[in-house]
Amino acid sequence: MPKGASQKREREFKELKHEFKEEHRYPGREEEVAARIVNKQRREHGETKAQKSRAGRKVH
């Protein structure tokens, strides 16, 4: 997981990775897919560095 990810997102990443391995989904790519899912959620909820910097700007 990237630096700055919350404990919640770290835990979610590990749970997804474990779930994918148990279900034999995405063989060999479990970690990549889990990271993509968690990063997408972080981006949608404004938890990324880019989202934080945009929040401080005023729209003209």
pLDDT, tens digit, 9 for 90 and up, residues 10-47 = 999 999 999 999 999 999 999 999 999 999 999 999 98
Two structure tokens written together for 31: 């970690």
Quickly tell me which residue has 């981006």 as its tokens: 43
Does the pLDDT at position 59 exceed 70? no
pTM above 0.85, yes or no: no
Position 5 scores a pLDDT of 83
Helix 30-44 vs helix 7-23: crossing angle, to nearest 10: 140
Residue 21 Cα distances to 16, 37, 38, 49, 60, angstroms: 9, 15, 16, 30, 48
Q: Which tops the pLDDT comparison, 2 or 34?
A: 34
CA-to-CA distance for 44 and 22, rounded, in angstroms? Answer: 27
Does the pLDDT at position 60 exceed 80? no
Does the pLDDT at position 51 exceed 70? no
